[in-house]
Amino acid sequence: MKIAICVKEVPDPGAPRRLDPASGRLVRSADTALNPYDRHAIEAGVQLREGAAAGAEVTIVTMAPASAARTVDKALAQGGDRSVHLADDALSGSDLLATSYALAELLRRDAYDLVLFGQSAADSECYVLPAAVAERLERPCVTQVAALELVEGVLRVKRQVETGYETLELPLPAVLSVADTLNEPRYATLPAIMGAKRKPHELLSVDELGLDPGRIGQGGSRARVRGLSAPPPRGEGVRIEDAGDAAERILEFLVERRLVA
C-alpha cells in the first residue's frame, strides 16, 4: 500500500505576519514550521502503515522552495519513509488552481493508493485544496475525517457535519483530509530526527515533472490581488465603573447594539 502525505511549510505561528503591498503575497521569513494540521495526516498515515501488510510505505510530498528541506525532515522524523519534493522558482505565486494542478501531477506520477492532507493550511486557512486535487485525479474524496479505518481494501470514515456525524465507505484509491480531532500526533524521538536525513529524498523541478509552464506560478493562476488596505481603526471603547449598577449598564450597552435580546 502506497500512502502519500501532502505537507506544507508555513510561517511560524508565533511570528508576526504581514502582506507585501507590492506582490499582495504573504511575506515568508526564515521563521517557518511544518503546518500543524499536517501532523495529524502524518500520524494517520503511519498508523495505517503499521496496521497494513508488509510493504506499506508512507511518502511525504510537498511543493515548496528547496529551503523547505528542513520541514520535510521534520515530517520524515514523525514517521515518513521517503520524501518527494517539488521545488522550482517557476511555482512562486501559484494560487489554488495552479497548486492543485502541480500537486495532482506529482501524485499521479507514483499512483498512490491513498493521499492524505491536513484539514487546512495554517497560513491561508484554505480547506479546498484536497478536494481540488481529488477532482483532478478523478478520485473519491472525503474532508474533515474524524475517524478512519481500512477494512479489506475499503476505507470506512466518519466526518462531522452540522447535524452530527456521517459514516461513509469509499474504495481505494482515494483522497482524504483529516480533522485535527482524529488523533494525537506522536513526537519525533532523537534517533528519528537524526535518521530523517538518511531517508530517501527526491528533489524534482518543473521540467523534470513535465508541468505546463502556462499552468503554474503567477502566470498560471486565476486569482489576482487588486489591492490591500488596513482594517478600519477600532472606535473608542466604553468604560463602565461599578457604582452598584454595572451589570444593568452592561446589559443596556449590549441591548443597544443588538448583541443580546
Number of structural domains the chain divides into: 1
**Tens-place pLDDT, residues 161-199:** 888 899 999 999 999 999 999 999 999 999 999 999 999
pLDDT of residue 122: 85
The reply to whether 122 falls in a domain is yes
Rg (CA), the chain: 22
Which structural domain, as residue segments, surrounds residue 160?
Answer: 2-215
Q: Tell me whether residue 233 is in a domain.
A: no
Residue 13 located in a structural domain:
yes
Predicted local distance difference test score (pLDDT) of residue 30:
66
**Is 126 within a domain?**
yes
Q: In this predicted model, what pLDDT tens digit does every residue of 124-134 receive, in sequence order?
A: 788 899 999 99
Is residue 225 in some structural domain?
Answer: no
Q: Quick check: is 199 in a domain?
A: yes
Q: Three-state SS across the chain? A: CEEEEECCEEECCCCCCCECCCCCCECCCCCEEECHHHHHHHHHHHHHHHHCCCCCEEEEEEECCHHHHHHHHHHHHCCCCEEEEECCHHHCCCCHHHHHHHHHHHHHHHCCCEEEEECCCCCCCCCCHHHHHHHHHCCCEEEEEEEEEEECCEEEEEEEECCEEEEEEEECCEEEEECCCCCCCCCCCHHHHHHHCCCCEEEECHHHHCCCHHHCCCCCCCCCCCCCCCCCCCCCCCCCCCCCCHHHHHHHHHHHCCCCC
Cell numbers at 96, concatenated: 489554488
Range scoring the smallest mean pLDDT among 113-117, 210-214, 229-233 = 229-233
pLDDT of residue 23: 74
pLDDT tens, position by position, 77-135? 999 999 999 999 999 889 999 999 999 999 999 999 999 999 998 887 888 999 999 99
The predicted model gives 230-244 an average pLDDT of: 83
pLDDT tens, position by position, 137-170: 999 999 999 999 998 889 999 998 888 899 999 9
Here the CATH number for the domain that contains residue 149 is: 3.40.50.620
Q: What global pTM score does this model have?
A: 0.84
pLDDT tens-digit profile of 19-54? 777 777 777 766 888 999 999 999 999 999 998 767
Specify if 223 maps to a domain: no
Instruction: Answer whether residue 32 is part of any domain.
Output: yes
